[in-house]
Amino acid sequence: EIVLAQSPGTLSLSPGERATLSCRASQSVTSSYLAWYQQKPGQAPRLLIYGASTRASGIPGRFIGSRSGTDFTLTISRLEPEDVAVYYCQQYGSSPLYTFGQGTKLEIK
């Protein structure tokens, strides 16, 4: 089973700052099958990034996904107050079909 380890657990930054969220896979993950989701308080998750780096429909350009080997990164270039959420990475394909990271909680100071 592929394990996705997200770090940090919690990130506290000020508006306008850059946030860097990490997702490390225990084995090789096909880029096409790595996605990021945003879950705001009290809401269902929403797809942000798919294929490791492609923004989903309607997602602002400040959300950027990238990959280096088995490390995947979600960067939020200029934080806005509405970005407060828990962010999850997810891989598809290996048993179990879908695996999620444990999440990074983003707080805005």
Partner 1 sequence: EVQLVESGGGLVKPGGSLRLSCAASGFTFTDAWMSWVRQAPGKGLEWVGRIKSKSDGETAEYAASVKGRFTISRDDSKNRLYLQMDSLKTEDTAVFFCIAVDTSGYYTLDYWGRGTLVTVSS
Smallest gap from residue 16 Cβ to partner 1 (A):
28
Q: Distance (Å, rounded) from C-alpha 59 to C-alpha 46?
A: 10
Smallest gap from residue 73 Cβ to partner 1 (A):
18
SS (H, E, C) 8-73: CCEEEECCCCCEEEEEEECCCCCHHHEEEEEECCCCCCEEEEECCCEECCCCCCCEEEEEECCEEE
Instruction: Report the residue number, 17 or 39, with the smaller CB distance to partner 1.
Output: 39
Smallest gap from residue 6 Cβ to partner 1 (A):
9
Binding site for partner 1 (CB under 8 A): 32-33, 35, 37, 39, 43-47, 50-51, 56, 88, 90, 92-93, 96-103
Instruction: Report the residue number, 83 or 103, with the smaller CB distance to partner 1.
Output: 103
